[in-house]
């Protein structure tokens, strides 16, 4: 079992920045990769960015150049730095961890970008 706890969401004006954190605990050794998804009201959950343990990273086209995913292995924590934010970035952001037996999700953190 892997437990994920997100923090750092909130309200920001368009053009501003936020940093999300995701602290992992439990069976850390089983994690192959971590990432961030988001779900806006009335829409499907979509990938924002993720990374694997071998160093590969991937970003959705709509966040490239604005968002950066990173991690601190010593703290078992993943981050999502969000810059130049837009109102369309408004969503609940979920941290996820992939393992060989399944995918785990955090509870989500609300991000709201005002125009």
CA dihedral 50, 106, 102, 33 (to 10 degrees): 30
Q: With bands split at pLDDT 50, 70 and 90, how would you rate the model's confidence at 74?
A: confident
pLDDT tens figures, 25-70: 999 899 999 999 999 999 999 999 999 988 899 999 999 999 999 9
Cα R_g (the chain), whole angstroms: 13
């Amino acid at each position: 079992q892997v437990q994920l706890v997100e923090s750092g969401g909130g309200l920001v004006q368009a053009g501003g920045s936020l940093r999300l954190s995701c602290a992992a605990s439990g069976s850390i050794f089983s994690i192959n990769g971590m990432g961030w998804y988001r779900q806006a009201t009335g829409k499907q959950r979509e990938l924002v960015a993720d990374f694997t343990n071998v160093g590969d990273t991937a970003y959705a086209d709509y966040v490239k150049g604005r968002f950066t995913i990173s991690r601190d292995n010593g703290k078992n924590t993943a981050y999502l730095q969000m810059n130049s934010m837009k109102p369309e970035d408004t969503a609940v952001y979920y941290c996820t961890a992939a393992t060989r037996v399944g995918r785990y999700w955090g509870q989500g953190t609300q991000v709201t970008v005002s125009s």
